[in-house]
Chains A and B, each alone.
Chain A
Amino acid sequence: MIALSDTPTLRTERLVLRAPLGSDWPHWRAFHTDMRAQWIGGAKGADGAWRAFGHVIGHWAMRGFGSFVFHRQGDPTPIGMCGPWFPEGWPETEIGWTLWSGAHEGKGFATEAARTTMAFARDRLGWHSAVSYIHPDNAASMAVAVRLGATRDETAARPHANDVVYRHWGMP
């Protein structure tokens, strides 16, 4: 079996966060081909979803860290992804999050997942700064950033001209 090796698993009160698995694909596909994924460049069909998920897995291989897929304690069905994200071309290190179904919104899962991956990025990866790049129409995601205590940074560089930058800590 081809799998990522030596990847960490994080636990919160309600969630388990682990590296992506090949078996996450159908769940990712359902999310990424839906309009829910429009804010992260998705909603463009199975081919785009396939390449995007290859990138999610490969990010771990390239950087040694990546975004964690998470599920609820006691139920292995993946419900979202959250964590450190730093592909080539990103101005600085990012914490990102996605919830894969509307059924899981409004319960604090993204906030809970982000808190623990932020601690991981700071303590284990030694990050000096972290931001989140959010589409200006993605109100739900901006609300998560505010709950996490992030503040808007109007002057920071950003990968896409219309991204809103929320700064969690530090400066690049």
Chain B
Amino acid sequence: MTTPLPHIPTLRTERLTLHAPRMEDHDALSAFYGSPRASFAGGPMTPGLSWRVLAQEAGQWMLRGFGRWVATERGDDTPMGTVGLCHPDGSPENELGSDLFEGATGKGDATEAGMAARAYAYGTLGWTTLISLIARGNDASAAVARRLGATPKGPFTHGRFGTMTIWRHPSAQGVAP
């Protein structure tokens, strides 16, 4: 018996499917959050805590009407990472974020997923601007932000993650097709 959040849209890009966070994603998420790769995302952490993170990602959608998706390659159910939109209480504005799991980096997936999430924000949600908050030293995420056309703007002190850099994405007008 599961009670899904049935109104969360599924997005498809050329190579990826972005689906609502669900119980079946936990093994992959737990492997990521238990590894040193998750050091910029609050990890490494126990499976119990990563289960909470996954539940929180699902819950975000109801709190705000938007949230993160779990990304898979098209035709494959194996989660490769999470990507999406958030605005936690206390955050300066709407954010685009992503985390890629082991083995999923270097193929442009984060960029492709980020573009799909941003297009959803600007198109479906009608947003006009978007930032990404990236921890100092997280070069991989900074490189993705740069490929998405974002530029570093200044520091932000995050309650849990310390000093982060605000990356400003091109405006909705700037990325209009």
Contacts and interface: CB of A to CB of B under 8 A. Distances in A.
Interface of A: 1-7, 19-22, 25, 29, 45-47, 49-51, 53-65, 87-89, 125, 159
Contacts of B64: 22
24 contacts: A2-B7, A2-B8, A3-B7, A4-B5, A45-B159, A46-B89, A47-B88, A54-B57, A57-B55, A58-B57, A58-B59, A61-B2, A61-B23, A62-B22, A62-B26, A62-B54, A65-B1, A87-B48, A87-B55, A88-B48, A89-B46, A89-B47, A89-B48, A89-B49
Interface in B7-55: 7-8, 21-23, 26, 46-52, 54-55
A54 B48 contact: no
A59 B62 CA distance: 12
Given A22-B63, A58-B54, A89-B47, A5 B3 contact: yes
Given A54-B58, A62-B58, 12 more contacts: A2-B8, A3-B7, A4-B3, A4-B62, A57-B59, A58-B21, A62-B22, A62-B26, A62-B51, A64-B3, A87-B48, A159-B48
Nearest to A56: B59
B60 A54 contact: yes
A152 B67 CA distance: 41
Interface of B: 1-8, 21-23, 26, 46-52, 54-65, 88-90, 159-160
B54 A1 contact: no
Contact of B56 (A3, A6, A54, A89): A54
A5 B4 CA distance: 7
A116 B130 CA distance: 45
B47 to A, nearest CB: 6
Which of A6, A20, A58, A63 gathers most chain B CB within 10 Å?
A: A58
Contacts of B55: 54-55, 57-59, 61-62, 87
Contacts, number: 118
A50 B89 contact: yes
B80 to A, nearest CB: 20
A7 B55 CA distance: 17
A8 B55 CA distance: 19
Contacts of B60: 54
A2 B64 CA distance: 8
B55 to A, nearest CB: 3
Given A2-B7, A5-B4, A53 B48 contact: no
Contacts of A1: 7, 65
A87 B64 CA distance: 23
B52 A57 contact: no
A2 B55 CA distance: 15
B3 A65 contact: yes
B90 A50 contact: yes
B90 A3 contact: no
Contacts of B23: 61-63
Nearest to B159: A47
Contacts of A125: 1
A2 B5 contact: yes
Given A47-B89, A89-B51, A54 B59 contact: yes
Contacts of A47: 88-90, 159-160
